[in-house]
Chains A and B, each alone.
Chain A
Amino acid sequence: MGTEDKSVPRLLTGNEAVALAAIEAGARFFAGYPITPSSEIAETLSRELPKVGGVFIQMEDEIAAMSAIIGASLAGARTLTATSGPGFSLKQEAIGYACETEVPCVVVNVMRGGPSTGMPTLPAQGDVMQAKWGTHGDHPAIVLCPERIDDAWELTIRAFNIAEKFRTPVILLLDEIVGHLTEKLVLPLKKQPKLFDLPQNVSKEGYLPYRFDGEYPPPLIPVGQGVPYHVTGLLHDETGFPTNDPDLAERNARWLVDKVENHKDELADVELDEVDGCDILVFAYGGCARSARGAVRMAREKGLKVGLFKPRTLWPFPEKELQEAAKTAKRVVVAEMNLGQMAHEVEWALGRSIPVELHSKLGGEPILPTEILATIEGRD
Chain B
Amino acid sequence: MERVDYDKYLRTSRIPHIWCPGCGHGIAMKSILRAVDHAGWTKENTVWVSGIGCSGRITGYVDFNTLHTTHGRAIAFATGIKLANPKLNVVVVTGDGDGTAIGGNHLIHAARRNLDITVVLLNNNIYGMTGGQCSPTTPQGAKATTAPYGNMERPFDIAGVVAACGGNFVARGTVYHVNELEKLMRQAFLKHGFSFIEVMSPCPTAFGRRNKMKNAIVMMEDLKERSVSVKKAKDLTDEEREDKIVNGVLLDRDKAEYTDLYRQLIEQLRGS
Chain A partners chain B: yes
- Which positions in A face B, CB cutoff 8 Å? 28-29, 31, 50-51, 53, 55, 57, 59-61, 63-65, 67-77, 79, 93-94, 97, 222-226, 228-234, 241-242
Size category of the binding interface on chain B: 35 or more
Q: Could you tell me if B84 and A64 are in contact, using CB atoms closer than 8 angstroms? A: no
- Enumerate chain A residues within 8 angstroms of B172, measured Cβ to Cβ: none
Residue of A nearest to B259 (CB): A55
Answer whether A75 and B60 are a contact pair too, CB < 8 Å, given A63-B76, A228-B43. Answer: no
Residue of B nearest to A57 (CB): B83
Q: Could you tell me if A223 and B47 are in contact, using CB atoms closer than 8 angstroms? A: yes
Q: Could you tell me if A230 and B60 are in contact, using CB atoms closer than 8 angstroms? A: yes
Residue of A nearest to B78 (CB): A71
A230 to B84, CA, bound (A): 19
Closest chain B CB from A319 CB (angstroms) = 33
Question: Contact string, B171-200, partner A, CB cutoff 8 A, digits 1/0?
Answer: 000000000000000000000000000000
Residue of B nearest to A226 (CB): B44
Q: Could you tell me if B60 and A68 are in contact, using CB atoms closer than 8 angstroms? A: no
- Enumerate chain A residues within 8 angstroms of B82, measured Cβ to Cβ: 71, 75
Most buried by B among A94, A225, A231: A231
A53 to B85, CA, bound (A): 12
- Which positions in B face A, CB cutoff 8 Å? 14, 43-45, 47, 49, 59-60, 63-70, 73, 76-85, 87-88, 105-106, 109, 262, 265-266, 269-270
Q: Could you tell me if A74 and B265 are in contact, using CB atoms closer than 8 angstroms? A: no
Closest chain A CB from B172 CB (angstroms) = 24
Partner among A50, A67, A69 whose Cβ is within 8 Å of the Cβ of B262: A50
13 pairs across A/B with beta carbons < 8 Å?
A55-B84, A63-B76, A64-B105, A68-B76, A69-B80, A74-B81, A76-B85, A79-B80, A224-B85, A226-B44, A228-B63, A229-B66, A231-B68
Q: Could you tell me if A230 and B68 are in contact, using CB atoms closer than 8 angstroms? A: yes
Partner among A68, A93, A97 whose Cβ is within 8 Å of the Cβ of B80: A68
A245 to B270, CA, bound (A): 52
Q: Could you tell me if B79 and A59 are in contact, using CB atoms closer than 8 angstroms? A: yes
A72 to B88, CA, bound (A): 12
Q: Could you tell me if B106 and A223 are in contact, using CB atoms closer than 8 angstroms? A: no
Q: Could you tell me if B70 and A233 are in contact, using CB atoms closer than 8 angstroms? A: yes
- Enumerate chain B residues within 8 angstroms of A69, measured Cβ to Cβ: 80
Q: Could you tell me if B85 and A67 are in contact, using CB atoms closer than 8 angstroms? A: no
